[in-house]
Chain A
Amino acid sequence: MSTPTANPVYKLELTSSPHVHSRWNTKQAMWLVIISLLPPVVASVLFYGFYQLLVILVSVGICVGTEALIKKARHKEVTISDGSAAITGLLLALILPPNFSLFFTAIGAIFAIAIGKEIFGGLGYNIFNPALVGRAFLQAAFPVAMTTWAIPNFSDAVSKATPLAAFKFEKITADLGAMFMGNISGSIGETSGLAVLLGGIFLIVIGVVNWRVPLAMVLGVIVFGGIFWLIDPSKYPNPFFHLLAGGFMFGAFYMATDWVTSPLTGKGMWMYGGGISLIIVVIRLFGGLPEGVMYAILFMNGFVPLINKYTKPRVFGEVK
C-alpha cells in the first residue's frame, strides 16, 4: 500500500482538466459551412443552368488539389480533409459571373489557395479571405470576363447589366422582390438573397457564424446608405437596395464571417462589420466600380490584427 505502483489493469490517460470537450471540432465546423452553402448552389443552377455546377466542381477540385500539392511540397501533413480548401473553392465559384471559363476558374482557385492561404502558413494563419483574394486576382487579370453577365432563366429582362451597374450608369432601380429571389444578373451564388439568408441563418443558429458580423453589416449599410438616400433619394438608392444588391448578403453571411480573417472580440466584430458597410456604400456611391463588397471586406481583413489589439474585453470585475 505504501509503495505507489502503476495499476496494470487500466490504461488511463493522464491529462489536466477539463476532461470533456464540446461537440465542436474544426472538421465538423467546416463541413457544416459546406452544407450551409447548398441553397446558393441550388439557386445558381436554378437561375443559370447546370454549367455552373462544372465551374463549382473545377473550383473545388483545383483548390483542394493545390492545397494538397503545396502541403506535400513543404513536407507538411496534408490537411485537405478538414474541408477548408473545399470551402474556399465553393465560395470562389459562387462569386463568379455565370458561364465563367473553366480555365480562368482554375487559375483563380490556384491563386486563392497558394497566395491567399498557403503562403501565410495555411489554415488559421492567413490575413485575407482566400476566396476573395482569388476573385480580386481574376478581376484584375480578366476584367472583361469578370463583368460579362447573363440574363437569369426566369427573367424577362432585356439588359444583362447587374442592378448595381444599371443604377450606377443608367439610374435604373431593379425590383426589390426579384433581387430578393435572385432573378437578376449577378454572380451565380450571390443573386438570391433568399438562398443566402437560408444558409446564413442556419450557420448562425447552429453557432458557426457569430451573429454580430452580419448584423453589424446590415445595420451599417442601412444607416450609411440611408443617410445618403435621405439627403437625395433621386440620386442615391434606398438602403434596402444596398442590402439586396450585388454581393452584400453573400459577403455579410459567408465572406466577412470567415473565422480566420474576422476579429476575435464582440466589440471588434461590430467595428469590423460597420467598417465594411461604410466602405461598401462609399465605393458603390462614389467609386469607379459599381460594386465594392469584395474590396471592402479585403480592406477590413487587413485591419483585423489592429482591431484585435485595441478591443480587449473588460476583465470581469475590473472598474475602468
Chain B
Amino acid sequence: MSLFSFAKKTFRGGVHPFEHKEMTENLAFEIMPDPPTVIVPLSQHIGKQATPIVKKGSVVSLGSVVAEPQGFVSIPIHSPVSGKVMNIHREPNTSGYPKDAIIIQTDTTIEGSEKFEPLNYETISGEAIRERVRIAGLVGQGGAAFPTFIKLSPPDGKKIDYVILNGCECEPYLTRDYRLMLEKSEDVVVGLNLIMKAVGVENGIIGIEDNKPEAIEKLKGVATRFKNIKVEVLETKYPQGAEKMLIRACVGREVPPGKLPMDAGVIVQNIGTATAIYDAVVKGEPQLYAALTVTGKGINSPKNLMVKVGTPLQEVLDYCGGVKEEAVKVIVGGPMMGVAQFDFSAPVMKATSGIVVLTKEEVNEHPETPCLKCGKCIEACPINLVPTKLSRYSQLERYEDAEDLNITSCMECGTCTFTCPANIPLVQWIRLGKQKVIELQKEKKTA
C-alpha cells in the first residue's frame, strides 16, 4: 500500500477500515424534538467545570446561562430547553466517569428564549469573534473538547500561518461532518473565515478525504468567493483527520512530539466548530445542539440528527427506532476511538459526534494469539512507534523501556490494534502503559 501512497496528499502509515458511511451519508439532518428531561453536564470540555448559577426549582428559558465559567480554561453552559431545574446531581456520563449535571425538566409553556445580538461577519473584529465564541460556550468537536476560544487565542510570539479545517471525518460510519459540509457549506466556509479573522491568519485550508466528492465540489464552489481559502483533497485513510496527520498532509509540516499544532504554525478546527462559530456570530445562538450520526447495523433506523445537548442516549436511540437484539456494542464517537457505553441515561454532550451501534459481525473479533512479529502495527502506526514492543513492555511493567520507545507520543488512534493479525489489544496495553509512564514522570518531577 505504501508503494502507491505518494500519489495523493496524505501521511505515512494508517489503515483502511470499511467505511460503512452508506447507511447515513444520503440522509439529511433531522431535528429531534426536545426530550422530556435533559441532563446538562457542568463539564463538557477539558478544564475546570462550570459553576451552576441556578438552583433546584429555578425556572430557566431556552438559551439562558445556567452555569458560569470558573477559571480561564472553562466556558459557560446554556440551557438547551425551557423548563424547570429538577436537581443538580452526579449523573452517568458518556466518558464512563459520572459528572455533575443540571437536570432540567422541559416545559414548553415557558416562553421566551435568550440569544445574542447577530453580528455582521464582514465587519466584525477578531477580538469580538473570540469573545462571542467564549460566551456562546463553544468547544472543539474533535473528542478532546478543548474550549474553542482558547484555541483562537494563540500566545504572543507564536506565528500562525494556516488555519486548517478538518473535513476528513476519517472515522468509519460517521457522516455528520459530511452532511454539515453539504447542507451548511456556506456556514462552514464563513466559519473558517471567522476563525482566520480571530487568529489573524491569511491562509485557510479545508482538508477533505477524496471519498466525499460532493462535499468537495460544493465547498470549492463557496470557497471561490473568499480570498485565500482553498479546499485540499486528501487520500481516504484512517487517521487522516488526526491533527498531526492532517497538518502533514495539507502543508507538509510535522508537529514535534509533545508539541501542539500551533508550534508548527497551524491551528486545526473541526467542521462542527466552524458551523457553531457561524451560528454564534451570525445568528447569535449559543451551542445548544449537537450534530450527530446515529448509525451501525445494530440500530433500526440510522439517522443524522440535530439533538439538544443533554438528551439522554436512550431517547436518541428510541427516536432512531431502538437498538436491535443482535447489537453488541453501543459506542459514543466513532468505532476507532469512541467510548463503549453501558448506561443509556448518559446524555449527549456538545462534542458528541455520533452513536454507533455495532453487531457482532461488524466487530469482527478473533481469538488472540502470540505476536507473530509481522510488523504490520509498525507499518500502520502514523507516529512511527513500535506498538508490539510498547504493548509488551506495558504488560511486563517495564515502563522505562516503554518511555525510551516514546510511549507518550502515542495518540491512541488504534490503527495498531485494528491491523494486528494476532488480535493483540495493542493500543489498549499502550494506553495503560502510557498513563503509568506519565504518572511516573510526574512523580519524578515532584520528587
User: Contact residues of A with B, CB < 8 Å?
Assistant: 1-2, 4-7, 9-29, 79, 82, 121-125, 207, 210-211, 259-266, 269, 312-319
Contact = CB atoms under 8 A, between A and B. Distances in A.
Contacts, number: 189
A124 B327 contact: no
Contacts of A121: 370
A316 B382 contact: yes
B111 interface: no
Contacts of A17: 331, 333, 335-340, 412, 414, 427
From A11, A14, A19, A264, residue with most partner B Cβ within 10 Å? A19
Contacts of A13: 328-329, 340, 363
B77 interface: no
Contact of B418 (A11, A20, A25, A123): A20
A125 B431 CA distance: 25
A26 B421 contact: yes
Interface string B257-270: 10100000000000
From A25, A124, A266, residue with most partner B Cβ within 10 Å? A25
B330 interface: yes
Contact of B383 (A12, A18, A315): A315
A12 B373 contact: no
Nearest to B345: A1
A18 B345 contact: no
B239 to A, nearest CB: 10
Contacts of A22: 15, 17, 364, 418-420
B125 interface: no
Interface stretch (B40-48, B86-94, B224-232, B436-444): B86-94
Contact of B328 (A5, A11, A23, A124): A11
B447 interface: no
Nearest to B344: A7
A2 B89 contact: yes
Contacts of B376: 24
A125 B383 contact: no
Interface in B326-370: 327-331, 333, 335-345, 356, 358, 362-366, 369-370
Interface in B236-294: 244, 248, 254-257, 259
Contact of B323 (A10, A15, A265, A314): A10
Interface string B409-436: 1001010011111110101100100000
A14 B422 contact: no
A211 B257 CA distance: 30
Nearest to B322: A9
Interface string B300-344: 000000000000100000000001000111110101111111111
Nearest to A260: B373
A106 B1 CA distance: 40
B338 A123 contact: no
Given A4-B345, A18-B414, A264-B375, A125 B370 contact: yes
A123 B370 contact: yes
A124 B423 CA distance: 13
A15 B409 CA distance: 23
Given A266-B379, A314-B384, A19 B329 contact: yes
Given A12-B341, A19-B340, A266-B379, 16 more contacts: A7-B342, A11-B328, A12-B327, A14-B340, A15-B428, A17-B414, A18-B336, A20-B362, A20-B418, A24-B419, A26-B369, A123-B372, A264-B378, A264-B389, A312-B405, A315-B384
A210 B384 CA distance: 17
B378 A124 contact: no
5 contacts: A7-B342, A21-B365, A26-B372, A315-B257, A316-B409
A12 B328 contact: yes
Contact of B330 (A6, A10, A28): A10
B330 A18 contact: no
The 7 closest A-B pairs by CB, nearest first: A124-B370, A18-B414, A25-B366, A24-B421, A259-B374, A317-B254, A313-B384
B417 A122 contact: no
A2 to B, nearest CB: 6
Contacts of B339: 16-17
B386 interface: yes
Contacts of B201: none
B23 to A, nearest CB: 14
B116 to A, nearest CB: 32
Contacts of B423: 21, 25-26
B37 A1 contact: yes
Contact of A21 (B256, B340, B418): B418
B447 to A, nearest CB: 27
